[in-house]
Amino acid sequence: MAYLVDPVWGAIASIASWWLLAVLVILILIFWFGLFMPRQRAYLPARTFDGRKEGYRASQVDGILREFTDEGLQTYLTQASVIDMIFPILYSLAAAIAIVLFAPRLEGFRWLVLLPFLTALSDYIENFCVITVIGKHRRGQQAGSTGSVLAMATRVKFILWGAMLVALAVLAVGWVVRAVR
């Protein structure tokens, strides 16, 4: 596994700095509060697939799409095809940099640097599926197997997000403990 992990760790370590991390965090906050949150309100009462914290099943995909107005569906499509294609780059890079900065001498757990990129990959799969099911919905077609992939990608994304946040929290606490000693 080192043949996969070491090049990624090295690439991230070569650009990792607290300044870059701060810039990425600021961009993430701008995306979240300036782009995502206002759009979420525009969809109401409908909610996006990843806005359903209780989750959803593949069999519910077509019904969820019917909750949107035509304008809301267009806004969702724009978000999925533009904003949601940039955001994973920002958060995965920020998280990978944070992992390297919090634990620069991490040996046995360097594979953790892959978590942000796996999370982003599942996010991209989800986004491509959202674009596809919206297109199918507009043509009067059922989501079909794309709905199944969409539901699975959303679940995997949230599981990986959780794992990534736990890893970041543990590494941050370790970093603080080492700094205090």
pTM of the model: 0.92
Q: Report how far residue 127's alpha carbon sits from residue 125's, in angstroms, rounded to the nearest whole number.
A: 5
Instruction: Determine the average pLDDT of the residues in 41-54.
Output: 83
Contacts 24+ apart (CB under 8 A), 73-81: 73/134, 73/137, 73/138, 75/39, 75/42, 75/43, 76/39, 76/43, 76/48, 76/130, 76/134, 77/130, 77/131, 77/134, 79/35, 79/36, 79/39, 79/48, 80/127, 80/130, 80/131, 80/134, 81/127, 81/131
pLDDT of residue 179 exceeding 90, the answer is no
Least confident of 37-41, 111-115, 128-132, 168-172: 37-41
Peptide bond into 116 cis (omega under 30): no
- Per-residue model confidence (pLDDT) at position 8: 95
